[in-house]
């Protein structure tokens, strides 16, 4: 019996997925793939990551995968002709092969508007690795960039320009809003504000009339007679399906392009199928990878005589554009009289949320999320599975604020058939089965087993929640290990380091770890060592394990300079110290700024000036402010009873006492505190990790609040307590947090995940339900007694001072790539992206 031959034209993500699917179903057929690019199939969804990683990270598989699956791969050799009569294809290199089935996965090409001058040097498309290589090479001589297209790909291209260090980037969109297919006008406005704050200019309702310049681009002019200066232009204004091969061989195509297919992905020729962005299904071209993967599955079933059809696809999407969450799901635009709309718009935080509820108020129909989209996965599942919604559906926007809610809240209501990973078609049942019957108890193992989360990765949070939920249902202990080098959770490793009295990263790795370590475990172990022993973080060879900021005891800033942040306990400072700060700032040309935490930041320091700067500050009585560390930052205070007529107690003195007690304390994340002298709360104590407010009877202690992108008020732990009791409770609280929190987890998140919430925490800290109070107080006192200013040690130790040089062979020379500019009368370091060599 003759072996069946399946030829695949195209070697993109959808083609690769088809090869996976068909080989699982058909072990015998000959599979031949023709690709026009010279490299294997790669991840176009995360194309922008190419600038920060490597091509190897983008490849979907190695050559070995093709060999193991007996897939013949012809790279750099596109098919140039199809003969349907002889059922054969001709490649550019002259290969002629006959097929039993032909799968067209030719994808799409970028739509290029017919703008005069679009062929000038400096104008690029944004589609392939080759495009990115050309953009990267040209960007080195460009300072101002622009992107034509404000859709998904356009904003990705804009991010690419920013990543390449283009000084000023502009997005040009013909429509009246950004991402017109995904978000409404209000959401677009919120997104635009966010992007503006990140340095991106957005020009809407702009029609480009000409690319200016002689042989290379110098600017753009528009139909409204305005123009802008541009050194580099990227066009990302949509796509056109690649159907030229299909048209040439007589297959039916749509009036605006695309190879017409039925629900089984067959074209007008039953042995020729089309999948991905070249396929026109029910008058629709799908430009996302998930529907392309579904088409690949359907095509594989069709060839293997299995019944499966493509009936359209949910175009819900969630992505992060330049760090900004953007998501739309279900029907994002449906409105009265067909739906009721609930809106939440916070212009202060840059958050916009819209939910569309059915007219009877019983079902969620769709929505839009900008600025904060953590609830996306559950909202999408609510739409897709027609789950009932709460009587007060606004809680879906506001979120559950009750501490102690389990990670799996709401997952039990999902049917087993709920599609969790749309890219790979993985259901809730498949994920739960991997946990219960295949011993997969972490995301990596579930992902390997089911492929969930290997596409766009938008489903990863829900997959992790499902794993935890399923394990909890089985009564299993949910254990999160650090990395491949330490088979322990952070808490377990903390205990082991303490028990074995380990004092350096190498000791920890040799005693309880394996291998050489990685960038995940190094800073984590360094944090544990600092939390346990409070020794100089650069001692015992631990400098190699530190994050870059801890490594130089300073935050590296834009332009390649460093910040100097002396501690100012409680915000109180003597005039003599103010004078010293001013003298140091003038001597070393530093930019000065008073922060919201009542400190004075000095910016623009050269690396090799840091020891000299700190030597002068230390001589004046200053200490490190630990702005660079996961440690206590500040204890903010109002003036309290010292000056304020409303003040009940001396908040300044208490704030100084608190700050001097916990200075240098290392923790899983940064810590902030405040002391307010009355309930008017001028120090904003309830937005801090621990905050103290004066009452007529003493102090109220609040814990686990934070500001930032997800602000949360602190909760009352104890009320009307005296100063000594307050400090005792803080000791216990901080040690409990340090012992049990996961890496990079703020106290607010720690409490939110804690079973029993604030009531349990109060029982542990105030009532000593674990019997650990005395131990924790003793451990805290040991850390307090061991404290020594890191910069004081650094400037006195010649070996440590040696590391603060730009060039080992010329230690006195400064980095001549650092440039400065003037800003409101001060010298400011120019951003990295303005440092272009011509």
- DSSP structural state of residue 42: B
As a whole number, mean pLDDT of residues 620-632 equals 90
3-class DSSP string for 412-433: HHCCCCCEEECCCCEEHHHHHH
- CB count within 10 Å of CB 402 equals 10
- Paired tokens of 570: 């409680």
Of the candidates 315, 385, 395, 291, the residue with the CA atom closest to the CA atom of residue 353: 395
Whether the per-residue pLDDT at 650 is higher than 50: the answer is: yes
- Paired tokens of 708: 């930032």
- Paired tokens of 680: 């008017």
Cα 149 off chain centre by = 23
Cα 546 off chain centre by = 22
Mean pLDDT score across all residues of the chain: 88
As a whole number, mean pLDDT of residues 775-779 equals 94
Whether the per-residue pLDDT at 339 is higher than 90: the answer is: yes
Instruction: Show Cβ contacts of residue 729 under 8 Å, excluding neighbours closer than 6 positions.
Output: 701, 717, 718, 721, 765, 766
Instruction: Show Cβ contacts of residue 690 under 8 Å, excluding neighbours closer than 6 positions.
Output: 671, 673, 701, 702, 703, 704, 714, 730, 733, 734, 747
Type and span of the H or E element at 783: helix 773-786
Q: How far is the C-alpha of 40 from the C-alpha of 362, rounded, in Å?
A: 48
As a whole number, mean pLDDT of residues 131-140 equals 90
As a whole number, mean pLDDT of residues 551-557 equals 77
- DSSP structural state of residue 374: T
Q: What angle do CA 812, 813, 814 make, to 5 degrees?
A: 120
Q: How far is the C-alpha of 644 from the C-alpha of 635, rounded, in Å?
A: 18
Top-confidence residue, 416 or 551: 416
Sign of the dihedral defined by the CA atoms of residues 9, 13, 18, 20, in that order = positive
Write down the number of H helices and E strands in the chain.
27, 37
As a whole number, mean pLDDT of residues 570-595 equals 90
Whether the per-residue pLDDT at 802 is higher than 90: the answer is: no
As a whole number, mean pLDDT of residues 717-727 equals 96
pLDDT band at 578 (very low <50, low <70, confident <90, very high): very high
User: What separation in angstroms does the CA of 766 have from each of 654, 703, 726, 730, 731?
Assistant: 20, 13, 10, 10, 11
Residue 822: predicted pLDDT:
82
- Paired tokens of 473: 């249902």
Q: How far is the C-alpha of 298 from the C-alpha of 293, rounded, in Å?
A: 9
**pLDDT tens, 41-83?**
998 888 877 776 778 888 999 889 999 999 999 999 999 999 9
Q: How far is the C-alpha of 687 from the C-alpha of 698, rounded, in Å?
A: 20
- CB count within 10 Å of CB 150 equals 28
Instruction: Show Cβ contacts of residue 712 under 8 Å, excluding neighbours closer than 6 positions.
Output: 401, 704, 705, 706, 748, 752
Residue 526: predicted pLDDT:
86
Residue 805: predicted pLDDT:
75
Residue 545: predicted pLDDT:
59
Q: How far is the C-alpha of 34 from the C-alpha of 369, rounded, in Å?
A: 40
The phi-psi region of residue 583 (left if phi > 0; otherwise alpha if psi is between -120 and 50; otherwise beta) is: alpha
Q: What is the CA radius of gyration of the chain?
A: 30
Buried b (16+ CB within 10 A) or exposed e, 209-223: bebbbeeebbbbbbe
Residue 405: predicted pLDDT:
42
Residue 402: predicted pLDDT:
39
- State the distance between the two ends of the chain, measured CA to CA, in whole angstroms: 67
Give the phi and the psi of residue 635 in degrees, each rounded to 5.
-120, 95
Q: How far is the C-alpha of 812 from the C-alpha of 501, rounded, in Å?
A: 40
Residue 807: predicted pLDDT:
60
- CB count within 10 Å of CB 45 equals 18
Q: How far is the C-alpha of 779 from the C-alpha of 731, rounded, in Å?
A: 9
Whether the per-residue pLDDT at 418 is higher than 60: the answer is: yes
- DSSP structural state of residue 576: H
Q: How far is the C-alpha of 596 from the C-alpha of 600, rounded, in Å?
A: 9
Whether the per-residue pLDDT at 667 is higher than 70: the answer is: yes
3-class DSSP string for 147-168: EECCCHHHHHHHHHHHHCCCCE
Residue 404: predicted pLDDT:
37
Q: How far is the C-alpha of 531 from the C-alpha of 549, rounded, in Å?
A: 17
Give the phi and the psi of residue 626 in degrees, each rounded to 5.
55, 35
**pLDDT tens, 534-543?**
887 777 666 6
- Paired tokens of 263: 């629900």
Tokens 């009542």 correspond to 598
Of the candidates 449, 461, 546, 547, the residue with the CA atom closest to the CA atom of residue 505: 546
Q: Are 566 and 624 in contact (CB under 8 A)?
A: yes
Top-confidence residue, 654 or 554: 654
Q: Which of 18-32, 208-222, 406-420, 587-601 has the lowest mean pLDDT?
A: 406-420
Residue 398: predicted pLDDT:
72
Cα 774 off chain centre by = 40
- Paired tokens of 521: 């475990």
Q: Are 677 and 648 in contact (CB under 8 A)?
A: yes
Tokens 């994002």 correspond to 332
User: What separation in angstroms does the CA of 471 have from each of 117, 439, 477, 655?
Assistant: 61, 10, 7, 44
List Cβ<8 Å contacts ≥24 apart for 681-686.
682/638, 682/644, 683/636, 683/637, 683/638, 683/651, 683/655, 684/636, 685/636, 685/714, 686/713, 686/714
pLDDT band at 836 (very low <50, low <70, confident <90, very high): very low
As a whole number, mean pLDDT of residues 98-105 equals 97
**pLDDT tens, 223-254?**
999 999 999 999 998 889 999 999 999 999 99
3-state secondary structure of 496: helix
Strands 715-721 and 820-823, sheet pairing:
unpaired
User: What separation in angstroms does the CA of 28 have from each of 69, 265, 339, 600, 704?
Assistant: 10, 22, 52, 71, 60
Cα 327 off chain centre by = 14
Q: Are 723 and 648 in contact (CB under 8 A)?
A: no
Percentage with pLDDT > 90 across the chain: 52
Cross-strand pairs, 227: 221
Q: Are 592 and 584 in contact (CB under 8 A)?
A: no
Whether the per-residue pLDDT at 562 is higher than 70: the answer is: yes
Q: How far is the C-alpha of 94 from the C-alpha of 700, rounded, in Å?
A: 82
Beta strands in 59-140 (DSSP E): 71-74, 79-83, 88-91, 96-98, 101-104, 108-110, 123-125
Residue 837: predicted pLDDT:
36
3-state secondary structure of 245: helix
**pLDDT tens, 687-704?**
999 999 999 999 999 999
Q: Which of 51-55, 101-105, 621-625 has the highest mean pLDDT?
A: 101-105
Instruction: Show Cβ contacts of residue 400 under 8 Å, excluding neighbours closer than 6 positions.
Output: 409
Q: How far is the C-alpha of 401 from the C-alpha of 752, rounded, in Å?
A: 8
Percentage with pLDDT > 70 across the chain: 94
Q: How far is the C-alpha of 228 from the C-alpha of 222, rounded, in Å?
A: 9
**pLDDT tens, 360-411?**
888 999 999 998 888 888 899 999 888 888 888 888 877 544 333 433 447 7
pTM of the model: 0.61
Q: How far is the C-alpha of 320 from the C-alpha of 456, rounded, in Å?
A: 11
Residue 479: predicted pLDDT:
65
Q: How far is the C-alpha of 342 from the C-alpha of 373, rounded, in Å?
A: 16
**pLDDT tens, 258-303?**
999 999 999 999 999 999 999 999 999 998 888 999 999 999 999 9
Q: What angle do CA 193, 196, 201 make, to 5 degrees?
A: 125
Q: Is-cis flag, bond preceding 333, omega within 30?
A: no
Whether the per-residue pLDDT at 582 is higher than 90: the answer is: yes
Residue 548: predicted pLDDT:
62
Residue 808: predicted pLDDT:
55
Whether the per-residue pLDDT at 306 is higher than 60: the answer is: yes
Of the candidates 625, 620, 639, the residue with the CA atom closest to the CA atom of residue 576: 620
Type and span of the H or E element at 144: strand 144-148
- DSSP structural state of residue 2: P
């Amino acid at each position: 019996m003759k072996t069946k031959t399946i030829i695949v034209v195209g070697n993109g993500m959808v083609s690769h997925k088809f090869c996976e699917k068909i080989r699982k179903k058909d072990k015998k057929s000959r599979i031949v793939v023709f690709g026009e690019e010279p490299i294997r199939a790669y991840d176009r969804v995360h194309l922008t990551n190419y600038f920060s990683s490597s091509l190897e990270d983008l490849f979907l598989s190695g050559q070995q995968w093709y060999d193991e699956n007996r897939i013949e791969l012809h790279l750099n050799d596109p098919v140039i002709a199809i003969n349907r009569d002889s059922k054969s294809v001709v490649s550019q290199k002259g290969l002629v092969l006959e097929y039993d089935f032909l799968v067209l996965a030719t994808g799409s090409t970028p739509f290029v508007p017919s703008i005069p001058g679009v062929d000038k040097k400096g104008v690029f498309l944004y589609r392939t690795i080759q495009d990115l290589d050309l953009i990267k090479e040209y960007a080195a001589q460009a300072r101002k960039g622009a992107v034509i297209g404000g859709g998904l790909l356009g904003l990705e291209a804009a991010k690419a320009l920013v990543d390449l260090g283009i000084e000023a980037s502009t997005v040009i969109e013909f429509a009246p809003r950004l991402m017109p297919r995904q978000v409404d006008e209000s959401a677009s406005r919120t997104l635009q504000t966010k992007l503006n704050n990140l340095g991106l200019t957005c020009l809407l309702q702009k029609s480009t009339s000409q690319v200016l310049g002689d042989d290379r681009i110098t600017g753009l002019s528009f139909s409204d007679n305005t123009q802008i200066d541009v050194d580099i232009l990227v066009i990302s204004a949509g796509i056109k399906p690649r159907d030229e091969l299909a048209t040439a061989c007589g297959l039916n195509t749509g009036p605006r392009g695309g190879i017409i297919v039925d629900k089984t992905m067959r074209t007008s020729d039953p042995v020729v199928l089309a999948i991905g962005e070249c396929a026109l299904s029910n008058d629709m071209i799908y430009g996302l990878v998930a529907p392309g993967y579904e088409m690949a599955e359907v095509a594989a079933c069709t060839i293997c005589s299995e019944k499966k059809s493509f009936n359209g696809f949910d175009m819900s999407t969630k992505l992060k554009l330049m760090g900004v969450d953007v998501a739309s799901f279900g029907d994002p635009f449906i409105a009265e009289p067909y739906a009721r709309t609930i809106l939440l718009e916070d212009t202060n935080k840059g958050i916009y949320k819209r939910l569309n509820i059915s007219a009877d108020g019983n079902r969620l129909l769709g929505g839009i999320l900008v600025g904060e989209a953590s609830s996306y996965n559950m909202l999408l599942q609510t739409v897709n599975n027609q789950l009932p919604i709460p009587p007060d559906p606004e809680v879906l926007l506001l979120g559950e604020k009750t501490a102690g809610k389990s990670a799996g809240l709401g997952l039990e209501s999902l049917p087993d058939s709920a599609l969790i990973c749309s890219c790979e078609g993985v259901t809730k049942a498949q994920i739960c089965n991997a946990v219960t019957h295949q011993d997969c108890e972490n995301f990596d193992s579930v992902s390997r087993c089911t492929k969930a989360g290997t596409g766009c990765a938008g489903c990863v949070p829900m997959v992790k929640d499902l794993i935890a939920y399923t394990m909890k249902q089985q009564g299993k202990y949910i254990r999160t290990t650090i990395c491949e080098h330490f088979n322990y959770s952070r808490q377990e490793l903390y205990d082991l380091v303490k028990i074995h009295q380990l004092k350096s990263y190498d000791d920890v790795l040799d005693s309880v770890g394996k291998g050489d370590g990685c960038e995940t475990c190094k800073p984590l172990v360094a944090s544990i060592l600092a939390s346990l022993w409070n020794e100089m973080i650069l001692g015992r060879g631990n400098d190699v394990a530190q994050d870059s900021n801890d490594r130089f005891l300073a935050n590296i800033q834009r332009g390649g300079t460093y910040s100097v942040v002396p501690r100012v306990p409680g915000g109180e400072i003597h005039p003599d110290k103010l004078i010293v700060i001013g003298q140091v700032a003038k001597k070393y040309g530093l930019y000065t700024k008073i922060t919201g935490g009542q400190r004075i930041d000095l910016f623009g320091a050269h690396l090799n000036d840091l020891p000299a700067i700190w030597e002068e500050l230390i001589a004046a009585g200053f200490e490190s402010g630990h702005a660079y560390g996961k440690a206590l930052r500040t204890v903010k205070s109002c003036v309290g009873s010292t000056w304020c007529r409303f003040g009940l107690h001396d908040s300044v003195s208490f704030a100084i006492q608190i700050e001097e007690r916990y200075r240098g304390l290392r923790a899983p994340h940064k810590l902030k505190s405040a002391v307010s002298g009355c309930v008017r709360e001028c120090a904003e104590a309830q937005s801090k990790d621990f905050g103290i407010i004066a009452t007529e009877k003493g102090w109220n202690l609040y814990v686990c609040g934070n500001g930032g992108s997800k602000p949360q008020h602190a909760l009352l732990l104890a009320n009307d307590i005296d100063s000594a009791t307050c400090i005792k409770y803080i000791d216990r609280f901080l040690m409990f947090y340090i012992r049990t929190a996961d890496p990079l987890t703020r106290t607010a998140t720690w409490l939110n995940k804690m079973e029993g919430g604030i009531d349990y925490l109060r029982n542990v800290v105030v009532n000593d339900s674990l019997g650990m109070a005395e131990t924790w107080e003793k451990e805290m006192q040991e850390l307090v007694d061991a404290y020594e200013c890191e910069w004081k040690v650094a400037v006195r130790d010649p070996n440590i001072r040696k590391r603060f040089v730009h060039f080992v062979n010329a230690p006195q020379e400064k980095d001549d790539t650092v440039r400065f500019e003037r800003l409101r009368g001060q010298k400011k370091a120019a951003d990295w992206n303005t440092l272009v060599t011509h």
